[in-house]
Chains A and B, each alone.
Chain A
């Protein structure tokens, strides 16, 4: 029962470094999402994808990039890390619009 798997779980980055958060789902879901969660706040959508080869911006896309070359994988790239990107990142997936969304366990990122 893997579901949505995110790696790494914890990471400390220096300002200006780059990194990729990996996300994979084994449920053959078409829709995948990346959210960030700041302390005391609800989740905000960064990017989403409705299928392989298709991505679109969410509410807070600046400073991030994504790709969706396969149905299973949806990596999130931070090119030039900034302290404002210190957050908890959640990947999620759903079969289609209107279906239950399944979340990964989160990736804690600190930029110093």
Chain B
């Protein structure tokens, strides 16, 4: 069994300040973990993924996430927020085969960026 908890449903930051979106997971396996971003009225776009290689994963648009097994966390960060980062972000854990049928989505975090 596996589950994902995104600890904040909404996060608001000012442009140019750091972003932290928190994600905790539980899994009976060695999981693969993903962050997806969803802009309004758009599909989901993959930001980054962790698949048991380096624990610090760099993604697109300056985002990165660190896999911490001891804390069962996979928090998403960005040093400096941009207005275009305003979107919904989903933390996702996959099952043992990493197939789409084994994905579990978190409830999402809506990131708001103030000018």
Contact = CB atoms under 8 A, between A and B. Distances in A.
A74 B47 CA distance: 25
A48 B95 CA distance: 15
Interface stretch (A14-22, A63-71, A77-85, A96-104): A96-104
Interface string B21-53: 000000000001000100001111110010100
Interface in A16-56: 31, 33, 40-45, 48, 50, 56
Contacts of A97: 97-100
Contacts of A48: 99-101
B99 A41 contact: no
A75 interface: no
Quick one: which of B51, B99, B105 has the most chain A CB within 10 A? B99
Interface string B81-115: 00000000010100001111101111110000000
A105 B43 contact: yes
A112 to B, nearest CB: 21
Given A45-B100, A56-B101, A92-B100, A105 B41 contact: yes
Nearest to A98: B98
B107 A58 contact: no
B4 interface: yes
Contacts of B4: 42
B9 interface: yes
Contacts of B41: 105-106
A100 B49 contact: yes
A43 B43 contact: no
Interface of B: 4, 9, 32, 36, 41-46, 49, 51, 90, 92, 97-101, 103-108
Interface of A: 4, 31, 33, 40-45, 48, 50, 56, 58, 90, 92, 94, 97-101, 103-106
